[in-house]
Structures are given as C-alpha cells and as structure tokens.
Structure 1
Amino acid sequence: MSIWVVSDGRTGIENQSLGLAEAIADLAPATITRHVVRWKPAFDRLPSALKQPWMLQQGQHLLHAPPPDIWIASGRATLPLSVRMKGKTFVVQTQDPRWKHSAYDLIVAPEHDGLNGPNVLSITGSPHRITPERLKAAAPAFADKIAPLPHPRVAVMIGGTSKAFDLTLDHAALLADLIAETVDEKGGSLLVTFSRRTPLLPQTVMTQRLATLPGIIWDGAGENPLFAFLDAADHILVTEDSANMVTEAASTGKPVHVLPMVPLKPQAKFKRLHKALQDHGAARPFDGTLESWTYEPLRETARAARAILDAIAQR
C-alpha cells in the first residue's frame, strides 16, 4: 500500500499521522511518503470552507497526483485538501476537525474531546510514534552518554505556553527545584527535553537549576534524543499541558508522573485525559517522590491502525 502523511510540517502535528502510518506499515507492507501543506500568509487564517487550492503556498500538487491508498492528515491546514480527497482514497483525519465531520472516511479523535459519529474512532490521547522497537533502535546513538548515568534515570518532558496553560518564570523555577530535590535525594540522573513551545527564559532557568545534577539536558541541537531518553528512563516526568507527550509517555509501560502547569482556563478535557491515564494505571500526579509501579503500556496507535485496515477491507 501507499500511504501519504500530510501535515503542516510541525513535528508534534506530523507525528500523529506518521505514527499511524508506521503502525499500519507494521501490520501490512506499505510505503510512507510525507507531504507538507502550507497556505499563503494572506489566506492562512481563513476558515477552511473559504480556502481554495490556488491559495496554497505548498501542497497544491497533492490534488492532481495519482492518489495513495491511504491519506492520513493532521492539523487544520490539511482540512480543505482532505475533504477534496474523499472518494479518491481512504481519508483519515486525526483529532476533531471541527468541520464537515462526514467528509472523512475515518476520524481518529481523542476520547477526551467527546466526539461521536459513525466514522469516529475514539482513542485515549493522540496517535504517536512510540513503540518498544523504535525506542530500542534509537538507544545506541546515545548509549555512550547515557550508560554512565546513575539510576534511577528520570526522563523529563517539559512543554510550554498554550491556550490552556502557561509556564511562567516563577513556575519553571519551582518545578526545576522540585525535580532537582527529588532526583538528588534518590542519587539519580536526569534526561531532559523541552518542547518547541517552551519559552526561552523558563527553559534557561530550568536548565541552570538542573545542570548541577548528573544527566543530559538537550538544548535542541543535533539529533533529538527523546526516544533514547524514554528507552533508558526508569521514571518519566511530563508536564500536563500536552496530550501528545503524556500519551507517548504512557506507551512505554514506565511510571508517568504528571507535572502541574499554570492553568489559563478550565481544564475539563485535560482532566478527562489524565483520569483515563490514571484509571489505566499509567500516570499519577507528581508528588515529589519517585514511586515505581507497573501497567500495560498504552497501545492506542496500533489499535487505530488495525481499525483503518479493517475499514478498508470492508469497503
């Protein structure tokens, strides 16, 4: 099969489609091609219903090329193209498109969004690329740096500012001090990554306060070590602002400790997601300790991949 992964190119958005495509390829022979859709700046903020192909800065060719067997798209930028591809290929849209819900063959939506419909598959969190095999494959590239680090090794995934949460300078300092105190007490080490949404000053403050402990703090340069960090970690600390990050962490089978952020508005959706992960046994609010526990790793991306193949087989 041929699978097109379509997004605006942002890593967090693209990884949803790419993770689904890779999960399908794990089940059936497939070739995966990544495509980026961008609209000309003057038209980017137009409602999807008003966007026309001539307004595209990148991706117009997708509407005229021989279609793939499966089109998997993520993000608002892809919606006008996904709608136009219906009938030419099997169209999968991740997240709630909030527009023309019947215009896609399948919507893979987070359960905490509460979206329902005959073409909706609800999953816990978001689709992603984390599998045990991919984590192990990434480990050798960073083995020389990680191997000397003492246990417990604590992977820390820090998000940032969004519509729902903020990471202020004071809160960043508070989190860093709490993490440092906990890891130092255990004689462990840190494996830290920051999101593209992490503001520069809070990131700088956290880096300065955590740098005295054994470990690695990725500064964004070179190859992303996240997969290797998750493979090596005994515990995972992740800020509560990202459904993607906490779902990825819960797919490892390792204890996931959720770090609080500064809320900017009511958090009903995130509360539903975190409760689902707690009910699954994967995640708990971080309480300043590193208690260990076990659970069945979350395998929602693989479940969605099987559902896509089943739906195609029934056409």
Structure 2
Amino acid sequence: MLAKIAPSDPLLPVNSSCWVLTDGKIGDEVQCLGIAEALGVAPELRHVAPRRAYAWAMPYGPIDPQEGPERPGSPLAAPFPDIAIAAGRRAVPYLCALKRLSRGATFTVFIKDPYWNRRRLDLIVVPEHDRLRGENIFAPLTPANRLHGWRLAAARDAADSAIACLPRPRVALILGGTSQHHHFEPKDIAAVAAIAVQITEAGYGLMVTPSRRTPAALLDAVATALAGRPQAENIFFWRGEGRNPYVAILAQADAIIVTGDSVNMVGEAVATGAPVHVYEPSGGHPKISTYLARLEALGAIRRWQGKLEDWHYPPVNATPDIAREIARRYGDFRSRGR
C-alpha cells in the first residue's frame, strides 16, 4: 500500500523507490513517513508481523520464515526499493535481510538504535541525547515527525470548526502517559487537572488531547475537573473518538503544555514555534533530562512553573536535516556504484 504523501521538493533522483518498514506502531511509522515526505518520495508501507517466538528474539533473531520473500504477502517481496527506512526492534532483522536479498543495492536507514548489526546498515538515525556515535550514525536534536511547515500552514488555514470557535489565546494540553521511565502518580494527575482548570479560568481557549499511553485515571481526572465549568464553550476535549485532530490542535495553539514523558511529543510541540511548557511527571531518565535541557537552552521550552509565559523562538524540527543527510549519503552510495 502506498502512503499518501503531499508533494515536496524532491531530494532524491526522479522515480526513486522507497519502503517504510515497521510493525505498524504509530510512533515508529510517523517518524519514517515524516522523513519520506521531507525526501519528496511516496513510500510503500511494509508491515512486519512475526509470530510470537520470533518477535520475542528480535532484534537479535532471524525473520519469521512465514514472512520470507518467497511467501505470499511477504513484507520482503521483490522488487526491492532504492531506499528502505525502518523503525522498531521487530523491523531490524527484516531490514538486514533486505540488505542481503538486494545484494547490497538497497540503501538502508534505521531510526533509533537497532542494537544489532549496526555496521550492516547504511545509516542509523539516533537522537542527539543518545550517546551512540559512529561513521554511519547521524544524531539530530529532535526525532523526525510529520509536522512540516506546509502541513502546519494548511491546518492553520483550515481549522476544524470545533477548534476555530475557541477564543484566543488557545492553549494545547498534550497528555502523555506511563512509559518505561515515567509514571503518573496521584499528585501528577491532580496537578495536570489543576492546570486544565487554571487555563480555562483565565479565559483562554483550551484544547486537550491524549496519547495512546494516557492512563484512564489521568483522562478522567481532567474531564471531571472541567465538567460543568462556566467556560465549557471555551474547551475542546478529544477523547479518542473519530478523526484525530492532533495536527490541527498543534497548529492552532498559541501556547502548548505537554507532559515530559515523551521525547516525540515534546519534539512535535517545538516544531510549531509556539511557547512550549513542559510538565514533568514522576520518574525520569538522564537522557530525557539532557534532551529537555538542550531544548531549554535553545529557548524552545520552559519547565512548567505554575503559569503561562510568552516568548518567541524559531521552530525546531530536525526532519529536514535528517532528510538532507539521507539524500547526501545516498548520493555517495550511488556514486560508489552500489
């Protein structure tokens, strides 16, 4: 299936073919698609679905033989692409297998640390706060995303009617959730709910959107805190039903409050150029702290201190840089006759 990609100035030779190879996880796929869009190509989406025993061993084990290139519906069925962009640990063996099956002709790009067969891949894109470095490593500040300037501009010009009616300033409240390193204790849930109330009481338009990881307790607490308030007409609360208005919410936001459990969500917020306030839930990790500190030093974010602040900074989005680096290295790859 071909991904629907808006036109962009191509960085690759005309008619270059591209696969996006993942197990379907939205966070991985979004990064790969964002890069493909920045490259100016419409990739073919290939989803891997190894059986449990094989998935358990990944990224170190082999591909599932039932998804071998000769099997019907295989994610590795020929013809092979010029470039393959992959993400997620289950995709690692498949990307390595593709490199072998194409006899080295496919330029392979992996997003984040594959932890295995690093030298067999042509390019690995890891965040700057990850300490992995090497000849085939590119380390941008923020993860890739699909929040290109043209997409944000379109969302600003054609706002959803439920959002367009909100008063300005409009504040986006982006809710993350439990992760390997962060969790929302009762005090965090109460704090986030209080932030939502504070924004509405100040007369701002409030746009609330959760992620797939947002715990029900957090979502319910925010909803309960906002229920029946006199400013109800100033609130847009998306709870997962229907089309996801995430891009529209970010594009329409005059300020953003995002929970600091997700590197990706913070990276998407700073791509807008709107002031980004980060509320850090319980837990943490040194790498994420380093990432937030870098963005704070650039003036893109501020830690939540109990009130909205206003400041300006150029949007921070590493996706075009990642695409240019892939295009440069792919050009070198082709010039060597690969």
Shorter-chain TM-score range: over 0.9
**Out of 277, 282, 295, which is 1:257 matched to?**
277
Amino acid at match of 1:145: A
Contact 1:63 1:85 in 2 (8 A): yes
Contact 1:153 1:189 in 2 (8 A): yes
Matches within 5 A, 1:51-90: 51-54=62-65, 56=67, 61-86=74-99, 87-90=104-107
Q: Distance in 2 between matches of 1:12 and 1:111?
A: 18
Amino acid at match of 1:296: P
Structure 1 residues 60 and 280: CA distance shift in structure 2, 3 A: farther
Partner residue of 1:280?
A: 298
Any idea what SS the aligned residue of 2:295 has? helix
Partner residue of 2:323?
A: 305
Deviation at 1:51, TM superposition (A): 2.4
RMSD (Å), alpha carbons: 1.9
Amino acid at match of 1:71: A
Deviation at 1:154, TM superposition (A): 0.5
Partner residue of 1:24?
A: 39
Considering only CA atoms, is the larger Rg found in Structure 1 or Structure 2?
A: 2
Matches within 5 A, 1:1-315: 1-25=16-40, 30-54=41-65, 56=67, 61-86=74-99, 87-139=104-156, 142-181=159-198, 183-211=199-227, 212=229, 213=231, 214-263=234-283, 267-315=285-333
Once the two structures are superposed, residues 205-242 of structure 1 have per-residue CA deviations (whole angstroms, 9 ceiling, x without a partner) of 12221343422111111111011111110001111100
Amino acid at match of 2:191: L
Deviation at 1:167, TM superposition (A): 1.7
Q: Distance in 2 between matches of 1:226 and 1:197?
A: 15
Structure 2 alignment gaps of length 5 or more: 1-15, 334-338
Q: Distance in 2 between matches of 1:273 and 1:59?
A: 43
Q: Which moved more, 1:101-110 or 1:135-144?
A: 135-144
Contact 1:152 1:186 in 2 (8 A): no
Q: Distance in 1 between matches of 2:146 and 2:256?
A: 17
Structure 1 residues 193 and 164: CA distance shift in structure 2, 3 A: same
Once the two structures are superposed, residues 183-221 of structure 1 have per-residue CA deviations (whole angstroms, 9 ceiling, x without a partner) of 135310111110101111221112221343422111111
- Higher normalized strand content (fraction of residues): 1
Deviation at 1:179, TM superposition (A): 3.2
Any idea what SS the aligned residue of 1:42 has? helix
Contact 2:51 2:64 in 1 (8 A): no
Q: Distance in 1 between matches of 2:73 and 2:131?
A: 33
Contact 1:109 1:115 in 2 (8 A): yes
Q: Which moved more, 1:88-97 or 1:132-141?
A: 132-141
Q: Distance in 1 between matches of 2:192 and 2:72?
A: 41
Contact 1:159 1:197 in 2 (8 A): yes
Deviation at 1:16, TM superposition (A): 0.9
Deviation at 1:260, TM superposition (A): 1.5
Q: Distance in 1 between matches of 2:119 and 2:166?
A: 51
Structure 1 residues 56 and 262: CA distance shift in structure 2, 3 A: farther
Q: Distance in 2 between matches of 1:129 and 1:239?
A: 20
Contact 1:179 1:288 in 2 (8 A): no
Contact 2:109 2:123 in 1 (8 A): yes
Any idea what SS the aligned residue of 1:44 has? helix
* TM-score, normalised relative to structure 1: 0.92
Q: Distance in 1 between matches of 2:31 and 2:22?
A: 9
Amino acid at match of 1:310: R
Aligned residues: 308
Any idea what SS the aligned residue of 2:129 has? helix
Amino acid at match of 2:174: M
Contact 1:13 1:74 in 2 (8 A): yes
Deviation at 1:34, TM superposition (A): 1.5
Structure 1 residues 22 and 177: CA distance shift in structure 2, 3 A: same
Contact 1:4 1:70 in 2 (8 A): yes
Deviation at 1:31, TM superposition (A): 2.4
Amino acid at match of 1:37: V
Deviation at 1:290, TM superposition (A): 1.3
Structure 1 residues 139 and 56: CA distance shift in structure 2, 3 A: farther
Amino acid at match of 1:126: P
After TM superposition, what 4+ stretches of structure 1 lie above 6 angstroms from structure 2?
57-60
* TM-score, normalised relative to structure 2: 0.86
Contact 1:167 1:198 in 2 (8 A): no
Deviation at 1:302, TM superposition (A): 0.3
